[in-house]
Structure 1
Amino acid sequence: MGKESNEKNVLCIGAGIEQLPTIQIAQKMGLKVIALDENSNAVGLQVADRGIVMDLRNTVKVIQLARELNIRCVLPVPLGAILTTVGVVNDALGLKGISEAAAKLCTDKLLTRQILAEAGLPTPKFAEATDDESLLKAAEKIGYPVVVKPRYGSGSQGVFVARDKAEFLRWLPWHLEQRQKYKEAEQSLIESFVIGEEVGVDSIVISENHSIILIRDKEVTQLPFRLPFGYLAPTQVPVVIQKSIDEKLAKACMALGLKNCLIHADIIISDSGEIVILDISGRPSGFNISAKMIPVVTGVEPIYQAIQLSLGYKTDFCSSYHQGAILRMLSAPTGYFLAIEGIEEVRQMSGVVDVESFLEPGEMIQESRTGATGYRVGYLLTSGKTRDEADLIWHKVANKIHFHMENNQ
């Protein structure tokens, strides 16, 4: 394959439903998107200007392809599992964006904890463990309640909170089963559980200058799991704490070597007022938070601006206004999914920014072991002049959406 001279070729590593908005944004900018995915049925492969089925962890082949196609930048996508590949390509081609070294630190939870602790940032007690015996020993040493999570991974898979030994032993087999989904599946991280209010943060680092774009409050499921199912903006956290979050994240980004990329972070504001970084990564947020929620609330289009940054063009991440927005996951009853009613009507209603169902006919929805029935079967995003107004709209229109299931009581 000869090297192409097209100066508008950009690479999207990952082409699933989460990457689709980024592909479409890039195309609207007049860019030619080459999308890669291991799944030949990935929706983005058909939407992109060119879709290629490829092992995303085979960095040698990905780099070779990027060079042959004269790739101008790697698109920012919410897919933590392949962040290292993004960094490798950026380094190899001299592109702006997250580096391989920073990506490795973000995707390895143990290294993240160690780096943040060395930087003097508040961090839970933590320990690495492997099998049943060492995991239990680490939990007992740290003291309950503890959080158990795979050392590698994303999306809260395999993560649970144990408030005592009995709860730990009950959910440990499930954790080990979930851990096997990752290639680096031999290690886990045990952390002390921080009690407090959880928020999500989206920000940008240009060179070494960190700026917050949006802080959003989160709704999470009950223990022993803390799966986020709702995002509410703008935050109701006091301004003084928001400033402290900004300072802590700026320090964390510098310690991790994050620069010229979007930042996704999960923060706990402990009951004592301490700011604890639970997770941080050099990528945009998923579930259309970056692609659709942030633009509605702030007027900033982070995906568009991040692409501009990667291409070396002028950027503007300054908020032009503030509105309220609510993004919550929809839930479905148990059974086999047949059809969804009301979604087209809801799309046309005032205050509805976006609504989507992820279900395919015949798909089975069952009671989840995490206690979240039908968790993340779709989402509804609404906006209003204030957060309260957006919330009222959300509940009003959500009642018009009905999932029809077979064998549902």
Structure 2
Amino acid sequence: MARRALILVEGHRSIGLLYAKAAQRLGLYPITLSVDPAQYDYLAVERLQAIRVDTDNLDALIHECSRLRASYDIAGITGFTDLDESVYATVAKLCQHFDLPGPNPVSIERCCDKFVQRQLLAEAGVPMPTYRLAADAMEVESAAAQIGLPVVVKPAVGSGSSGVRLCRNVEELTKHLAYLLGGKHIWRSSPRILVEGFAQGLQYSADTMGNAVIAIGAADFYGPPNFVVRENIFPAPLTDEQYKRIVDVSLSCLRALGLGWGPANIEFRWTEHGPVVIEVNPRLPGWTTPRLIQLAYGVDLVTEHVKLIIGEEWNLRRRHSHTAAARYLAPDRDGILDWIDGTSRAAAMSGVAEVKLYAEPNTPIVRKGDVRDCIGHVIAVSPSRARTETILQRAVDLIGWSITPF
């Protein structure tokens, strides 16, 4: 009998290994297809099979999967990347081609284009910021003038807050346009820029699987104009009425975008008018979110998603109720990371679930204004919100580092 395999298209520095481990626990053999497998350290460390293939080429992926089917029983296909969401549409097309469980490719493609997503949500009456699409600096400036500063300016396609900035005045707008259109931002096609009114209020996110809201978390950020997350916490501190309104809007988003299969992540700001949708991501979020949800509720979204991928019955029932929070360590300057210490003491604290570093000493630090700026995180969990926040702050206070400017 052929060995059952799970095909992973590309990898992910924060959740890629979680999927490989979940596959192994379920008796599957994970195989990663990547344009450059060496960029994912965990593949070599864990001795996971990886095959080099052009993952932008659907025909090349179909050919490789067909070749693998001669030796393996391909039970399912999924995939992910840190900053390029096009892989989700590619995965959906692969699943469709091989008649495997997966999302609707058309729905995924529409959702990954933030302008098309906005149009579909607007047609469904979902509350959103005012928005305009622009192709060059003149159109962006015109859109910003129509909407009124401050505005959020971002690429119409992308993830991880790459290229996303809050422009509070004309000077910041001009500076960001120089970045986006001056060759520093990598565009996969002709520039398409979304200009949106800034929805002021607390940030929340709803994580869904199928047509169910599994968890709602809260987040705050380091200072503008960037959107680099400082802290995430589950569950979000919400009243019953606030929780219900976020759930209702989340379900409206799923219906409008045709995302009734698999995971999705919906970001909100709670404004004076209630929840306003910032964006919908047709995927399980990376970073610490799956770990936080597991600690807070006992629900392993990665494992349950893999079960869905291979056509097995899943279980999203909450097993307990704790408060889990993550703090992200972000430097305040560019330069060489000389040293970082205190992590072992922080990890040894009661209530600290994880301390993880993304950078080692003697590493150059060049901030980009997105998720890549963070050099590590700390996760704490306890039965109460107050206790969790206290543990988290004490653990973070134990960690220090030094950066010598270039």
* Common topology (TM > 0.5): yes
Letter in 2 for 1:56: T
What is the Cα deviation at residue 369 of structure 1? 6.8
Change (3 A) 1:374 1:78: closer
Change (3 A) 1:317 1:118: same
2:388 match: 390
Q: 1: distance between equivalents of 2:81 and 2:266?
A: 12
Q: 1: distance between equivalents of 2:56 and 2:81?
A: 16
| 1:174 counterpart SS class | helix
Q: Report 1:264-303 matches (<5 A).
A: 264-273=265-274, 275-290=275-290, 292-303=291-302
Change (3 A) 1:212 1:33: same
Q: Report 1:365-376 matches (<5 A).
A: 365-366=365-366, 368=367, 370=369, 375-376=373-374
Q: 2: distance between equivalents of 1:177 and 1:387?
A: 45
| 1:242 counterpart SS class | helix
The CA RMSD measured in Å over matched residues stands at 2.3
| 1:123 counterpart SS class | coil
1:190 match: 195
Letter in 1 for 2:307: Q
Letter in 2 for 1:188: I
Bigger shift: residues 329-338 or 351-360: 329-338
1:30 match: 27
Q: 2: distance between equivalents of 1:223 and 1:22?
A: 33
Change (3 A) 1:373 1:216: closer
Q: 2: distance between equivalents of 1:223 and 1:91?
A: 42
Change (3 A) 1:360 1:54: farther
State TM-score, norm by structure 1: 0.90
Matched, 1:12 2:5: no
State TM-score, norm by structure 2: 0.91
Q: Report 1:29-68 matches (<5 A).
A: 29-41=26-38, 42-46=40-44, 47=46, 49-68=48-67
Q: 2: distance between equivalents of 1:360 and 1:14?
A: 24
Matched, 1:82 2:87: yes
| 1:116 counterpart SS class | helix
| 1:65 counterpart SS class | helix
Q: 1: distance between equivalents of 2:248 and 2:332?
A: 43
Matched, 1:349 2:349: yes
Q: 1: distance between equivalents of 2:200 and 2:8?
A: 38
Q: Is the 8 Å Cα contact of residues 77 and 284 (structure 1) preserved in structure 2? A: no
1:73 match: 76
| 2:55 counterpart SS class | coil
What is the Cα deviation at residue 270 of structure 1? 1.2
| 2:225 counterpart SS class | coil
Q: Report 1:2-401 matches (<5 A).
A: 6-18=2-14, 19-41=16-38, 42-46=40-44, 47=46, 49-70=48-69, 71-75=74-78, 77=80, 79=82, 80-177=85-182, 180-205=185-210, 210-273=211-274, 275-290=275-290, 292-332=291-331, 334=333, 335-366=335-366, 368=367, 370=369, 375-401=373-399
Gaps of 5+ in 1: none
What is the Cα deviation at residue 401 of structure 1? 2.1
What is the Cα deviation at residue 254 of structure 1? 1.7
Change (3 A) 1:353 1:110: same
| 2:373 counterpart SS class | coil
What is the Cα deviation at residue 127 of structure 1? 1.3
| 1:75 counterpart SS class | strand
Q: 2: distance between equivalents of 1:373 and 1:65?
A: 32
Q: Is the 8 Å Cα contact of residues 338 and 362 (structure 1) preserved in structure 2? A: yes
What is the Cα deviation at residue 190 of structure 1? 0.9
What is the Cα deviation at residue 360 of structure 1? 3.4
Once the two structures are superposed, what CA deviation does each residue of 1:184-210 show, in whole Å capped at 9, x if it has no partner? Answer: 2411011111122211221111xxxx2
Q: Is the 8 Å Cα contact of residues 160 and 224 (structure 1) preserved in structure 2? A: yes
Percent identity over the alignment is: 24
Tell me the number of residue pairs that the alignment of Structure 1 and Structure 2 aligns. 396
What is the Cα deviation at residue 181 of structure 1? 1.3
What is the Cα deviation at residue 362 of structure 1? 2.5
